[in-house]
C-alpha cells in the first residue's frame, strides 16, 4: 500500500503540463534503467484513461522535445477504462489519445501499432443496440472484458503490472469506470469488467478493476478544479469506501494526486 501524496500546482493547465513532463521523464528513466541493467523486462507499460486533464497532458506531450528522445518501440500503451462505443466515436478515450499523440508516433514509424492495446469497441449497428436487453448487453460487455484480460495475461503474465497509470477522478469520486453505487469497484476476482448503466454518459464501458490497478508501480491522478474538492477530501479521509471509488486507488511504489488549490481546498 503506497502512501498518498498531494502535489498542488497553481492552475489546471500547470497540472497537465507537469503530468506530461513527469510521464515523459519517468518513461525515459525506466527505459534507461532497464536497458543498462540488462533486465529481462526492457519495456515500459503505461495505462491511460480519458478525461480533460489526461487528454490535455497528451497534447503537451506531443509538443515536448522529450517525446522525440524516447524509444517508443519499447513502450506499450494500455487503457484503464474505455467507452464501449464505435471505434470512430469522438468519445473514445483511445481515439482522443491517438489524435493528440499516438497516431503521429505510429505514422513516423516510432511506435508500433501492436504496442497500442485498445479495449474493444462496439461493432453493433444502431438497430441492434436499440433492440438489446440488459442480459444481452451484459454478456457482450463481459466477453469484451475477458478478451482484454486475455491480452493482459498473454503480454504481461498472470499478474499483470503497469509501470505507470495516469488517472483522472470525477466529481463523484469515480476513477477509471468504477462508479459509486455500482458493484464493479468491489470486484476482486477479475482483471477487467464490463459496466452497464454508467451514471456518466456513455452508459456502456469497460474498466480495469481496483485490484489490477493497485498492482501498478506508480499511479498518478491529474485532478484539477473546484468541482473535485469534495471528492478529494473524502478520498484522502478514508480507504476502500465504495461511496468514493477513488479511495480504492493504490500502487506499489508511488500514489500521487496532482491538483490545484481549489481542488485541495477542503484538505
Write the CA distances from 109 to 35, 67, 231, integer angstroms: 21, 14, 41
Query: Given the DSSP bridges, would you call strands 205-208 and 81-83 parallel, antiparallel or unpaired?
Result: antiparallel
104-127: string of b/e by CB count within 10 Å (b at 16+)? Answer: ebbeeeebeeebbbbbbbbebeee
CA dihedral 223, 227, 232, 237 (to 10 degrees): 180
- Contacts for 87 with CB less than 8 Å, ≥ 6 apart: 95, 121, 123
Contact 194, 84 (CB under 8 A): yes
pLDDT per residue, tens digit, the chain (267 aa), is: 899 999 999 999 999 999 999 999 999 999 999 877 665 678 999 999 998 899 999 999 999 999 999 999 999 999 999 999 999 999 999 999 999 999 999 999 999 999 999 999 999 999 999 999 999 999 999 999 999 999 999 999 999 999 999 999 999 999 999 999 999 999 999 999 999 999 999 999 999 999 999 999 999 999 999 999 999 999 999 999 999 999 999 999 999 999 999 999 999
Instruction: State the pLDDT at residue 36.
Output: 73
Q: What is the DSSP letter of 99?
A: I
**Is residue 233 within a helix (H) or strand (E), and if so which, with residue range?**
helix 229-237
Angle, helices 52-62/12-36, rounded to nearest 10 degrees: 60
| Rounded CA separation 109/103 (Å) | 10
Instruction: Tell whether the torsion through CA atoms of 101, 107, 112 and 114 is positive or negative.
Output: positive
pTM, full prediction: 0.96
- Say which DSSP state 197 is in: S
Half-sphere exposure of 42 toward its Cβ, with a 13 Å CA cutoff?
A: 10
What gap in Å lies between CA 235 and CA 103, rounded to an integer?
35
Amino acid at each position: 500500500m503506497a502512501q498518498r501524496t498531494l502535489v498542488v500546482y497553481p492552475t489546471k493547465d500547470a497540472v497537465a503540463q507537469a503530468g506530461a513532463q513527469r510521464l515523459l521523464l519517468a518513461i525515459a528513466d525506466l527505459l534507461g534503467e532497464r536497458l543498462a541493467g540488462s533486465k529481462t523486462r526492457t519495456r515500459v507499460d503505461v495505462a491511460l484513461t480519458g478525461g480533460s486533464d489526461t487528454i490535455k497532458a497528451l497534447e503537451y506531450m506531443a509538443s515536448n522535445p522529450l517525446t522525440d528522445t524516447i524509444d517508443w518501440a519499447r513502450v506499450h500503451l494500455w487503457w484503464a477504462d474505455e467507452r464501449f462505443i464505435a471505434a470512430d466515436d469522438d468519445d473514445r478515450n483511445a481515439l482522443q489519445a491517438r489524435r493528440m499523440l499516438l497516431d503521429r508516433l505510429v505514422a513516423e514509424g516510432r511506435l508500433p501499432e501492436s504496442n497500442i492495446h485498445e479495449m474493444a469497441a462496439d461493432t453493433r449497428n444502431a438497430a441492434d443496440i436499440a433492440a438489446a436487453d440488459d442480459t444481452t448487453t451484459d454478456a457482450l460487455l463481459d466477453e469484451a472484458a475477458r478478451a482484454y484480460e486475455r491480452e493482459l495475461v498473454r503480454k504481461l503474465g498472470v499478474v499483470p503490472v503497469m509501470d505507470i497509470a495516469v488517472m483522472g477522478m470525477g466529481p463523484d469520486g469515480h476513477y477509471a469506470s468504477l462508479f459509486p453505487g455500482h458493484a464493479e469497484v468491489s470486484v476482486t476476482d477479475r482483471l477487467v469488467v464490463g459496466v452497464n448503466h454508467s451514471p456518466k454518459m456513455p452508459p456502456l464501458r469497460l474498466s480495469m478493476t481496483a485490484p489490477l490497478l493497485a498492482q501498478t508501480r506508480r499511479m498518478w491522478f491529474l485532478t484539477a478544479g473546484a468541482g473535485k474538492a469534495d471528492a478529494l477530501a473524502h478520498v484522502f479521509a478514508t480507504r476502500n469506501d465504495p461511496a468514493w471509488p477513488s479511495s480504492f486507488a493504490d500502487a506499489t511504489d508511488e500514489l500521487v494526486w496532482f491538483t490545484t488549490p481549489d481542488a485541495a481546498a477542503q484538505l
